[in-house]
A and B are shown apart, each in its own frame.
Chain A
Amino acid sequence: MADVHLPPTLPPLFPGLPRHLDVAAASVREAIDSLDARWPGLRDRVCEGAELRRHIRVFVDGERAGLDTPLPAGARLDVIAAISGG
């Protein structure tokens, strides 16, 4: 299980989606796929095609990560929206 933390901009888009939840996944990509299966369309909000969106970053246990980064048991996955706007 990974301890997944989502940006505050995501839960309002998908009814029932919490900010923090446990997801069974072996990689960042699997975690996002798993969330997309429960909340259809979520992948499109963090990925563009096969890549992460330009203003989305992911960190595994505090280290910058990508979609292929493995998720060890108990890892923390942070999905971050860029600090931008105005």
Chain B
Amino acid sequence: MSRVLVMIGTRKGAFLLESDEARRDWELRGPYCEGWPVYHVVHDADNGAIYAAAASAWHGAAVWRSLDLGETWEHSSEGLTYGEDAPLRLSKVSGLAAGHGRVLAGAEAAGVFESRDGGVTWRLLSTLDDQPGREDWNVASNQPPGHLGMPGLLQHPDDPDRFWVVVQGFGAFETTDGGATWTPRNRGLRADWPLEHEEVGFCVHKLVMSPADHERLYQQNHCGMHRSDDAGRSWTEITEGLPSDFGFAAAAHPHDRDAFYVVPLDGGHGRVVPDGRMAVWRTRDAGGSWEQLTRGLPESAYVGVLREGMAIDSLPAPGLYVGTSTGQLFASADEGDSWREIAGYLPGISSVEVAVLD
């Protein structure tokens, strides 16, 4: 029988939740990573390792790794640097992606690193230097309040040289040659501000690919929900029917290319669920219509859900997992129709990922 492993990054370390396929009874383990703020925890299906991107206020940024599902951990930042004399400073690793025999790490300031030895050593792959406006990315006045980094990484499942990165406030970029060259992939997106460059200046929050159709991408943007049917070359807005055009988290159904989930938030300063009514929203027709899913989710709950705060497993009836800024982990074992809290009183949750282990 398969096991389901939910990996949780929080403001005070990483946690693991484990269950069997029924996803009814969960065992919580942690905290790991010495209580460092953990921004993203991922599982590498190739070697079974867990990687956690973390940054200590005292001791800097590192990627932690566990080869035994959390029993023991080591950390490394060897090579996670822009160099002593470089204008860029690495303050944290924001996002991770594992697969194709490597681990990718997106950093703040914006750059992507890779490790080919299971997170022991790292090397800088690219800082996207040839992109329009790149020289302005690190000017302090251009940096959004939440910092400027590269939090989003999306690997192509079949082509190791092809992946997408998200640079906060500037947009999504695709490489097809392992990071040597890049192309902005922001056509059709909306920006509610003047653009200095036609192709960049967009605020992509989260980019996901349908496992059922690799040409089908979805994104939650600062300005609306969007869908692409050509692997990001063009985008169509699909916000209509949602309670707000703002949010961070997003998840694509593993078996249905038209099904997709978001957690809309109040786009003002609060950035919590609208009217304190926690809800996950689902489309089954590629954004043509949206359905509010609330059964088992709380009311009078002024919670936020961050960029990596929602995950979906790959079982035949996929389970969803949503972690809140106030430390609750809600799960659904029926594609979002009903929910229950499977962990509470955790530190504020930054990321949720899930793996099905055979």
Chain A residues at the B interface, C-beta cutoff of 8 Å: 7, 9-10, 12-13, 40-41, 44-46, 48-50, 53, 55-56, 81-82, 84-85
Contacts and interface: CB of A to CB of B under 8 A. Distances in A.
Given A41-B78, A49-B81, A49-B84, A12 B57 contact: no
Nearest to A51: B84
Given A53-B60, A82-B58, A12 B77 contact: no
Contact of A53 (B58, B76, B81): B58
Nearest to A7: B58
Contacts of B59: 9-10, 13, 45-46, 53, 56, 81
Describe A's contact surface by its main secondary structure: loop
A41 B76 contact: yes
A13 B58 contact: no
Top 5 A-B pairs, shortest CB-CB distance: A49-B84, A45-B59, A81-B58, A55-B58, A44-B77
B271 interface: no
Contacts of A56: 58-59
B57 A13 contact: no
B34 interface: yes
20 contacts: A7-B58, A9-B58, A10-B59, A40-B78, A41-B76, A41-B77, A44-B60, A44-B62, A45-B59, A45-B60, A46-B59, A49-B83, A49-B84, A53-B59, A55-B58, A56-B58, A56-B59, A81-B58, A84-B58, A85-B57
Given A9-B34, A49-B81, A55 B75 contact: no
A55 B34 contact: no
B56 interface: yes
A47 B81 CA distance: 12
Given A9-B34, A13-B34, A48 B75 contact: no
Describe B's contact surface by its main secondary structure: loop
A41 B76 CA distance: 7
Interface in B6-62: 34, 56-60, 62
A19 B53 CA distance: 26
A9 B56 contact: yes
A56 B58 CA distance: 6
Nearest to B37: A85
Contacts of B75: 13, 41
A2 to B, nearest CB: 21
Contacts of A53: 58-60
A50 B34 contact: no
B163 to A, nearest CB: 27
Nearest to A46: B59
A48 B57 CA distance: 12
B66 to A, nearest CB: 14
B57 A55 contact: yes
Chain B CB within 10 A, most for which of A7, A13, A46, A53: A13
A27 to B, nearest CB: 19
Given A44-B60, A55-B57, A55-B58, 11 more contacts: A13-B34, A41-B78, A44-B62, A44-B78, A45-B59, A45-B60, A48-B89, A49-B83, A53-B59, A53-B60, A82-B58
